[in-house]
């Protein structure tokens, strides 16, 4: 009998096993089903391959696809299988990186041939052969020098470049079949573990994200542990393509982005500008109801302001170049908070004034690489729904609760009912006192508890100046979008020497809370378009009603209806084109107008209307006043 050691399982139970037993053998001891599902494991919290032996008393865990880590390992392994298939089909290929990402994986290739969708089919076919071969994933640790020699012999310059920047003396490589890759791992035991996969698309990607480096070809794919999950994902992908805000933005004439004007800068068309105005009016009205005051600040400021705030040192690569104005250096602002600080400092503040709640729809500009720009979701100029609250430390919890109340009310009004919420706690490098950090973190948690919201702790992921709450909304397809954030800041009040006069007639430092609900108007609009597939609810629709006369002789009655509805604040237009009524109805449906009023001889005779809603439901013989009453109720209740 060999030496015995203790393996402690996640539930706290332990088992006595022989020294040198592998994680896979542990899984077999626990149960056949677990061994079948096992992809990798953990020893004392470290992710490792199933083949790794346990050499001392340890905590152990078997990782399956049902965990986030297991899903990433599974998909990372799929990216290696794809790379092996590419290497077999295109032996001259040079390889970049191939990580798992949300919903799938990708791999970057330097190829002489420009890949097409037909090539994806060939690569998938080759991948299936590799999976059927059930090739083991094996790893080896070697010195950097030896690894450089290896990849030099394989003519893989990108791998050599990656090795050269690794700080450790040794690196790890993985092999599956004849394919060799630089990789930390872990991986699934063998290629045969892959059950269901699909290659999705081809895109260009600069090496290391640098526009001055070579453009590689990136293949995106996904993988699941059963075909039903893959089928459901493909359906969601098709639905997401149908809802793509860039496509709908053009079809509904909402916005455009022109290279002639500047990439990453949005041009709002009348329809989009109107929807944006409705959102902004609702935003302002709700803030004014809840004790906020509106402020406005310029688009440029002296560079000294950003040096004081710390942005010039830590954020300069995301800021646009400075400009000279009257021999002074200015930059366009990347954020609004320093300007709000200066408003606060314009006079002495008393403890009796706090909390101060200041809100601004402030447009800011940040440099983003062209490769990451994406419609409204990633732009270079955007408007933040920004607010800053200056309060005493004892007021933090109450203010956070008030913020959560307006956040949830607004998000629910826009149609978002599900959320993922995180509390990010103190990182290794931080400013402020431990007492303030503890007080602020407890306040964030208590506010979430009092609001009845479930949340997760994100350890060490707070910003250096304070803890925060992040809220991700889930759209109609279940996709999570980072939206609202609430951040407690100990840093900027210190850097700008912000104070208030306390009850003791001495200066004290206020706490500053940064808060955004929608995040940015641009990104939120993109999310909103995709959530509703462009079919906005009545209160948000740029055109709420269109009136469709069947023939020219019905135009006067159509115009009369337009006039009556317009007087009541309804956004209404008449389609007076000499087209068939069927074509007018189709066009109204394509424009996703909530209601269409159809008028002909019968409607004129009875002084009634026929109404069709966007779902295709028809109602005839109702009075205009009855319909107006229904519209007004639906708009008021924001249904």
Residues with Cβ < 8 Å from 622, sequence gap 6 or more? 608, 609, 611
Annotated active-site residue 554? The verdict is: no
Among residues 333, 366, 591, 592, which one is catalytic? 366
- A 10 A CB-CB count for 291 gives 11
Length of the chain: 639
Alpha carbon dihedral 254, 319, 344, 348, in 10-degree steps, equals -170
For residue 75, give the H/E element and its range: helix 68-89
Helix (H, G, I), strand (E, B) or coil at 287: helix
Q: How are strands ordered across the β-sheet holding 40-43? A: 14-18, 4-8, 58-63, 40-43, 46-48
CA dist 488 and 500 (Å) reads 18
Q: What angle do CA 619, 623, 628 make, to 5 degrees?
A: 90
The DSSP symbol for 314 reads H
Annotated active-site residue 374? The verdict is: no
Residues with Cβ < 8 Å from 385, sequence gap 6 or more? 283, 359, 361, 516, 517, 518, 519, 520, 521, 524
Cα-only R_g, the chain = 30
Answer yes or no: are the C-beta atoms of 443 and 391 closer than 8 Å: no
The DSSP symbol for 608 reads -
CA dist 45 and 61 (Å) reads 8
Among residues 337, 391, 483, 527, which one is catalytic? 337
Answer yes or no: are the C-beta atoms of 192 and 134 closer than 8 Å: yes
Annotated active-site residue 313? The verdict is: no
Annotated active-site residue 583? The verdict is: no
Among residues 159, 287, 311, 388, which one is catalytic? 388
Instruction: Write the burial class of residue 175 (CB in 10 Å: 0-12 exposed, 13-18 middle, 19+ buried).
Output: middle
Among residues 126, 384, 395, 544, which one is catalytic? 384
Q: What angle do CA 227, 217, 235 make, to 5 degrees?
A: 25
Among residues 225, 386, 475, 489, which one is catalytic? 386
Answer yes or no: are the C-beta atoms of 286 and 320 closer than 8 Å: no
CA dist 252 and 376 (Å) reads 15
Annotated active-site residue 388? The verdict is: yes
Annotated active-site residue 487? The verdict is: no
Among residues 340, 380, 468, 523, which one is catalytic? 468
Annotated active-site residue 384? The verdict is: yes
Q: Quickly tell me which residue has 């699941």 as its tokens.
A: 224
Helix (H, G, I), strand (E, B) or coil at 630: helix
Catalytically active residues are 337, 366, 384, 386, 388, 468, 514
């Amino acid at each position: 009998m060999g030496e015995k050691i203790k393996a402690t399982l996640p539930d706290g139970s332990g088992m006595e096993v022989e020294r040198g037993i592998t994680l896979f053998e542990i899984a077999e001891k626990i149960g056949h089903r677990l061994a079948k599902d096992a992809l990798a494991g953990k020893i004392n919290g470290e992710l490792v391959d199933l083949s790794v032996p346990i050499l001392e008393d340890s905590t152990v865990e078997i990782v399956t696809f049902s965990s986030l880590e297991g899903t990433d390992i599974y998909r990372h392994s799929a990216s290696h299988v794809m790379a092996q298939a590419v290497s077999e089909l295109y032996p001259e290929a040079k390889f970049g990186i191939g990580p798992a990402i949300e919903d799938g994986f990708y791999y970057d290739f330097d190829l002489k041939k420009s890949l097409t969708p037909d090539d994806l089919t060939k690569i998938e076919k080759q991948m299936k052969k590799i999976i059927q071969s059930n090739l083991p994933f094996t790893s080896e640790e070697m010195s950097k020098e030896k690894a450089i020699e290896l990849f030099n012999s394989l003519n893989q310059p990108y791998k050599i470049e990656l090795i050269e920047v690794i700080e450790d003396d040794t690196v790890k490589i993985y092999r599956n079949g004849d394919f060799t890759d630089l990789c930390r791992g872990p991986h699934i035991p063998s290629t045969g573990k892959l059950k269901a996969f699909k290659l999705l698309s081809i895109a260009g990607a600069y090496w290391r994200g640098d526009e001055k480096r070579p453009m590689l070809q990136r293949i995106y794919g996904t993988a699941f542990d059963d075909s039903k999950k893959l089928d459901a994902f493909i359906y969601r992908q098709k639905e997401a393509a149908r809802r793509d805000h860039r496509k709908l933005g053009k079809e509904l004439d909402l916005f455009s982005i022109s290279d002639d004007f500047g990439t990453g800068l949005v041009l709002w068309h009348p329809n989009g500008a109107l929807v944006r105005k409705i959102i902004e009016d609702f935003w302002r009205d709700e803030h004014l109801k809840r004790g906020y005051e509106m402020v406005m600040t310029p688009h440029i400021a002296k560079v000294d302001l950003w040096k004081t705030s710390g942005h010039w040192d830590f954020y300069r690569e995301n800021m646009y170049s400075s400009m000279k104005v009257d021999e002074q250096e200015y930059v366009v602002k990347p954020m609004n908070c320093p300007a709000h600080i200066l408003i606060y400092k314009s006079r002495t503040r008393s403890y009796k004034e706090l909390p101060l709640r200041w809100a601004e729809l402030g447009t800011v500009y940040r440099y983003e690489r062209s490769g990451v720009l994406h419609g409204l979701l990633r732009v270079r100029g955007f408007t933040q729904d920004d607010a800053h609250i200056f309060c005493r430390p004892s007021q933090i919890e109450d203010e956070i609760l008030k913020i959560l109340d307006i956040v949830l009310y607004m998000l629910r009004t826009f149609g978002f009912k599900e959320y993922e919420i995180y509390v990010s706690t103190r990182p290794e490098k931080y400013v402020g006192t431990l007492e303030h950090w503890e007080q602020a973190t407890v306040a964030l948690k208590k506010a979430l508890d009092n609001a009845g919201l479930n949340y997760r702790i994100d350890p060490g992921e707070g910003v250096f100046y304070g803890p925060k709450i992040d809220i991700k909304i889930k759209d109609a397809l279940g996709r999570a979008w980072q939206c609202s954030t609430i951040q407690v800041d100990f840093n900027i009040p210190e850097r700008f020497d912000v104070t208030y006069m306390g009850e003791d007639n001495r200066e004290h430092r206020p706490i500053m809370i940064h808060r955004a609900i929608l995040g940015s108007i641009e990104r939120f609009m993109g999310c909103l378009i995709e959530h509703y597939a462009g079919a906005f609810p009545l209160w948000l629709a740029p055109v709420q009603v269109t009136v469709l006369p069947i023939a020219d002789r019905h135009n006067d009655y159509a115009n009369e209806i337009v006039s009556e509805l317009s007087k009541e604040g309804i956004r209404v237009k008449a389609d007076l084109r000499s087209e068939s009524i069927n074509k007018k109805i189709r066009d109204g449906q394509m424009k996703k107008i909530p209601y269409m009023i159809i008028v002909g001889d019968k409607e004129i005779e009875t002084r009634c209307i026929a109404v069709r809603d966007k779902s295709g439901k028809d109602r005839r013989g109702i009075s205009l006043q009855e319909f107006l009453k229904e519209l007004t109720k639906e708009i008021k209740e924001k249904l």
